[in-house]
Structure 1
Amino acid sequence: MKIGFIGVGNMAKAIIEGLMSKGVEAKNIFIHSAHKSNYEVYSQETGVSACESNSEVIEKSDVVFLAVKPIIVEKVLKEVKDSVLTHDPVLVSVVTGVSVAELEDILGSKDVKIVRTMPNVNVEIGEGMTALHKNDNVSDEDYQLVKELFEKIGKVADIEEKDFSTFVALAGSSPAFVYFFIDSLARSGVKYGLNKQKATQIAAQAVLGSALKVLKSDKTPWELVDDVSSPGGTTVAGLLAMEEAGFMTSIVKGVDATISKDKG
């Protein structure tokens, strides 16, 4: 399979590097972006093929990732419209906040094959979480191929398009929330004498182990909270102090704000 990327920003690079780490050969990946120095240097660093235009990417690829900023997606798609309609690749959009219907309207066709996706940055290390939604033109076979690409670099969830904004908050933006939480834990350790590096390693491993426990357990997260909370103990004291400070409310408000921003 030949895989193309229109746009070579952070998310595209995360996907590319995740795929290559799972055995996708660099020679089968084609890239182009508006910044020539950026994509040429990236091509030299990774061995992926640099193309002279977005249309060339489409002509050489079976699956094309559209990985540009929302503000320029219309300009880019109008530029490659003829190539898309002629070569008929599966167009995989990772553009935030742009629906399948909007992409079809820009291309002026309801016959294009589009899979809307929302990966998170952890695809780079093979631990991503990606939402997928296809239009009716994508065959089950083609959809499975796209799913398998993302399954190489994490987990996937088939969701309704109306739920993408919620997914953005729960999986797309949440890595930053978790990094913030880990850093806050680490800084608390520094307050009591640990150096920052050691405190960060301790906090990150604790979060990693806790996440794996949730995924492997039949219990709900709250039941797991109860499991480690002895009556009158230190953990209960910490939980009560965090809730008094508005811990859960702050998380919900963060999700609310993320969804609101995504919906515009």
Structure 2
Amino acid sequence: MPGEPAVPLAVGFLGAGQMATALAAGWAKAGLLDVTRTRAADPNPEVRARFEAATGAKAVTSNIDVLAACDVLVLAVKPQVMPAVLAGIKLAVRPAHLFVSIAAGLTLKTLADGLGPDTRLVRVMPNTPCLVGASATGFSPGPTATPDDAALVERLFRAVGAVRQVPEPLLDAVTGLSGSGPAFVYLFIEALADGGVKCGLPRDAAQALAAQTVLGAAKMVLETGQHPGALKDAVASPGGTTIAGLHALERAAFRAAAMDAVEAATKRAQELGKQKGD
């Protein structure tokens, strides 16, 4: 298929933190990464050591060395340090390079301004469940990226979860929903568990039951294809326990609060992009 590598890839990571490590480990497990040729660069020796231990690939201090060794480059540094990183590697960029940015809020235009207008770029927004192979990822190719580039990025990120291509203006909404969403879900799991403890359950049992409940409900949505509202109605018997709990959530404006959280995170992603000069 287009974008499918004939052999495992040598991928370079600029930044070797948690997300880069999770992606490298996931791609290696899926057979998409040649760890003997893959490189990561990071100034922190402890971060480099963790990357090497988790992936089997080599971590170095020089971004330029990574560009020399690899054609697919993952930009995995914090948004606030990205301008300095781009300035430091610009002269080493070759036509063979494909850059994949996972930095929140940084637009394709910002990246192209930093690397050069002809640079092949794909902007990606994964989330932290890629650590367990369950990421939800949105991506958008830049105007100079080829169809094969887009297909390759889709294949890579499908190896660590679900992936959707979206127009770039919607990537901030992806950031607000699935990028920040795990934190919202963790808060909900914690609250469910606290409710169980309040009603007499031991903490460990309450937390395990709460987490499994969220996992099972999510699988029902994904695997049945039914609307969440229909699945909710199937649980809520007339005059029963579930409808009483749902009434309490409605009184507390639970759905409005969740929508507000996604909107607030989306707006913050848009602000981060504007702070970088767009």
TM-score of the pair, normalised by structure 2: 0.90
2:223 is matched with which residue?
A: 216
* CA deviation after TM superposition for structure 1 residue 10, in Å: 2.0
Map of 2:74 onto structure 1: 65
Question: 1:162 — aligned with what?
Answer: 169
Q: Which amino acid is the alignment partner of residue 91 of structure 1?
A: F
Match of 2:15 in 1: 7
How far residue 2 of structure 1 moved from its aligned partner, in angstroms, is 0.6
Q: CA deviation at 1:7?
A: 0.4
User: Are 1:120 and 2:112 an aligned pair?
Assistant: no
**1:77-92 mapped onto 2 (5 Å cutoff):** 77-84=86-93, 86=94, 88-92=96-100
Query: Which of 62, 66, 75 is residue 53 of structure 1 equivalent to?
Result: 62
After TM superposition, give the deviation of residue 100 of structure 1 in Å: 0.5
Give unpaired runs (5+ residues) of structure 2. 1-8, 272-278
1:4–1:63 CA contact under 8 A, matched in 2:
yes
Q: By how many angstroms is 1:20 displaced?
A: 2.7
TM-aligned CA distance change 1:141 to 1:186, over 3 Å: same
Q: For 1:21-56, what per-residue CA distance to the aligned partner results, in whole angstroms no more than 9, with x for missing partners?
A: 323343232101122342145324542112341011
1:99 and 2:127 are equivalent in the alignment = no
Compute the displacement of 1:184 (Å): 0.7
Distance 2:199 2:181 in 1: 27
How many residues were matched structurally? 262
* Deviations, residues 143-182 of structure 1 (Å, cap 9, x unaligned): 2122111111111110011111111111001011111111
Give the TM-score taking structure 1 as reference length: 0.94
Say whether residues 1:205 and 2:200 are aligned partners. no
**How many Å separate the matches in 2 of 1:132 and 1:45?**
25
1:220-239 maps to which residues of 2 (within 5 A)?
220-239=227-246
In structure 2, the residue matched to 1:75 is: 84
| Native 8 Å contact 1:131 1:167 kept in 2 | yes
Equivalent position SS for 2:20: helix
CA distance in 2, matches of 1:36, 1:234: 54
Taking a change above 3 Å as real, the CA distance of residues 41 and 168 of structure 1, as seen in their structure-2 partners, is closer
Q: For the Cα contact (< 8 Å) 2:122–2:140, is it kept in 1?
A: yes
Where does 1:104-183 land on structure 2 (aligned, <5 Å)? Answer: 104-107=112-115, 109-183=116-190
Distance 1:222 1:13, change over 3 A: same
RMSD of aligned C-alpha atoms?
A: 1.5
- Equivalent position to 1:258, from 258, 261, 265: 265
Aligned partner letter, 1:118:
M
**1:128-149 deviations in whole A, cap 9, x for unaligned?**
1111111122221222122111
Q: Is the 8 A contact 1:58 1:87 kept in 2?
A: no
Runs (5+) with no aligned partner, structure 1: none
The equivalent residue for 1:242 is 249
Are the equivalent residues in 1 in contact too, given 2:67–2:73 (CA < 8 A)? yes
Q: 1:19 aligns with which of 13, 16, 27?
A: 27
Match 1:193 to one of 187, 193, 200: 200
Percent identity of the aligned residues? 36
Q: Select between 217-226 and 66-75 the one with higher mean Cα deviation.
A: 217-226
Q: Could you give the per-residue CA deviations for residues 72-112 of structure 1, whole angstroms, max 9, x where no partner exists?
A: 1110011001111x3631100001101001111112x2110
Q: 1 or 2 for the larger relative contact order (CA 8 Å, sep ≥6)?
A: 2
Moved over 3 A (4+): none
Conserved 8 A contact 1:133-1:159: yes
Which residue of the other structure, out of 45, 48, 52, is the alignment partner of 1:39? 48
Q: Select between 97-106 and 132-141 the one with higher mean Cα deviation.
A: 132-141
